[in-house]
Amino acid sequence: MAYGGEVAWSDIFASEDLFYKYWNKTASQLRVEALARPGYREVADRGDAEQFLVSLRGVIKEETEPGVYRWREIREGRLSQIELDALEPKPLTLHRLLLHRTS
């Protein structure tokens, strides 16, 4: 998701089914965020999106339930990358959220 020329949000899900399960909630959040921002004439391009999606190297906070899940947040400046991994039967990232925090 971009607001004008600023890429601000990315949601990546492990499967199409998981994406559709969370689509209504995600779409509602995006609509609220878009309404809170002024109109823009600029447009983000592919290069802006690729630069935004580069993994962060900031402060890491992590929670885990061994053999069940791992939740990790990486913060770098105003960017926050949150990942939820299932650990069994093999490690799998279920959801990756990357966003530009406004506050």
Summarize pLDDT for 19-57 with one digit per residue, the tens.
999 888 888 877 777 777 666 667 888 888 888 888 888
Instruction: Print the domain residue range for 38.
Output: 2-100
pTM, to two decimals: 0.76
Question: In which region does residue 56 sit, left (phi positive, over 0), alpha (psi from -120 to 50) or beta (all else)?
Answer: beta
What's the rounded Cα separation, in Å, for the pair 56 and 20? 27
The answer for residues whose C-beta is within 8 angstroms of residue 52's C-beta and 6 or more apart is 7, 10, 98, 100
Number of structural domains found in the chain: 1
- The predicted-structure confidence for 52-98, as pLDDT tens digits, reads as follows 888 888 999 999 999 999 999 999 998 999 999 999 999 999 999 99
Q: Which of 71, 90, 95 is nearest to 18 (CA)?
A: 95
